[in-house]
Amino acid sequence: MPFIQQITSDFLHLLFPEHCNACGVQLVHGEKQICIRCLYDLPYTDFHLFADNPVARLFWGRMPFQGAMSLLYFRKGSKVQDLIHRIKYNGNTELGFMLGCMIGEKILLTGQKTELIIPIPLHRLKERKRGYNQSKCIADGIAKVLQLPVNTKLLTRKINTGTQTKRSRYNRFENMEYIFRISQSLSLKHKAILLVDDVITTGATLESCGHLLLANGFENLSVATVAYAE
Ligand SMILES: [Zn+2]
């Protein structure tokens, strides 16, 4: 960083100190978004090391895929819940990007074939209201590490669903069916696609997108999320 820029950055940091998005302590020079201690202590799943990990098992018998992983365990009241909240509702797109980079580093280790990254789309009205799609920020981080394009045109959400949190697994899947559409030419059909979302719980959303892609001739799918909620 050039000297003047460094001075300005340090000065701004003094005036407006940044805090760790996971524990709230003031970040020191060199730390970004998450303090070193939290980065070390976060509940990493290491799912990328095991083909038969719990995220993969969610799709067994439901959808063929090449690889499935989540970076962190999601538990209520945890630091991971705070991180997800910040990327989803507090507009912290930079944090989403950073977590995406961390996922990208893990995927690099797997050797999994990926050619195109697709974030799970929000309905356009929801995205307009929120101002961004958090899954796109995560996808951008993964894309930076893997040096791959992100596509936000192929899949769109045609129905604006309400909150999913209180519905049963069966109802949620019923509700998810037919809510996405393929909006772009199918020339990308032979690409190995990585679908990206913030949190995976039942897998219904990712499965819904996956089924639509498979029904339209796409064959090589993988999934990745920041967090896995048991
Ligand atoms: Zn922290």
Task: Name the band, by pLDDT with cuts 50, 70 and 90, for residue 12.
Answer: low
Predicted confidence (pLDDT) per residue in 96-105, tens digit: 999 999 999 9
Statement: residue 114 has pLDDT above 70: yes
Give the per-residue pLDDT at 179. Answer: 83
C-alpha 224 to ligand 1 mean position (Å): 24
C-alpha 4 to ligand 1 mean position (Å): 29
3-state secondary structure the chain: CCHHHHHHHHHHHHHCCCECCCCCCECCCCCECECHHHHHHCCECCHHHCCCCHHHHHHCCCCCCCEEEEEEEECCCCHHHHHHHHHHCCCCHHHHHHHHHHHHHHHHHHCCCCCEEEECCCCHHHHHHHCCCHHHHHHHHHHHHHCCCECCCCEEECCCCCCCCCCCHHHHHHHHCCCEEECCCHHHCCCEEEEEEEEECCCHHHHHHHHHHHHCCCCEEEEEEEEEEC
Pair 61, 165 in one domain:
yes
Pair 23, 122 in one domain:
no
Q: Which residues surround ligand 1, an ion (CB under 5 A)?
A: 20, 22-23, 35, 38
C-alpha 18 to ligand 1 mean position (Å): 11
Q: Which residue has the higher pLDDT, 66 or 186?
A: 66
pTM score, whole prediction: 0.88
Give the per-residue pLDDT at 230. Answer: 85
Statement: residue 185 has pLDDT above 70: no
Pair 85, 125 in one domain:
yes
C-alpha 17 to ligand 1 mean position (Å): 14
Predicted confidence (pLDDT) per residue in 13-29, tens digit: 666 789 999 999 999 98
Give the per-residue pLDDT at 162. Answer: 59
C-alpha 86 to ligand 1 mean position (Å): 14
C-alpha 161 to ligand 1 mean position (Å): 34
Pair 21, 80 in one domain:
no
Statement: residue 95 has pLDDT above 90: yes
Statement: residue 113 has pLDDT above 80: yes
Predicted confidence (pLDDT) per residue in 30-74, tens digit: 999 999 999 999 999 999 999 999 999 999 999 889 999 999 999
Pair 25, 104 in one domain:
no
C-alpha 87 to ligand 1 mean position (Å): 16
Give the per-residue pLDDT at 165. Answer: 47
Pair 28, 62 in one domain:
no
Pair 51, 25 in one domain:
no
Pair 210, 135 in one domain:
yes
Task: Name the band, by pLDDT with cuts 50, 70 and 90, for residue 219.
Answer: confident
C-alpha 14 to ligand 1 mean position (Å): 18
Predicted confidence (pLDDT) per residue in 157-182, tens digit: 987 765 544 455 445 545 555 789 98
Number of structural domains found in the chain: 2
C-alpha 183 to ligand 1 mean position (Å): 41
Pair 29, 61 in one domain:
no
Q: Which residue has the higher pLDDT, 183 or 205?
A: 205
Pair 181, 124 in one domain:
yes
Predicted confidence (pLDDT) per residue in 120-159, tens digit: 999 999 999 999 999 999 999 999 999 999 999 999 998 7
Pair 15, 59 in one domain:
no
Give the per-residue pLDDT at 81. Answer: 97
Pair 26, 90 in one domain:
no
Residue 26 belongs to domain spanning: 1-41
C-alpha 121 to ligand 1 mean position (Å): 30
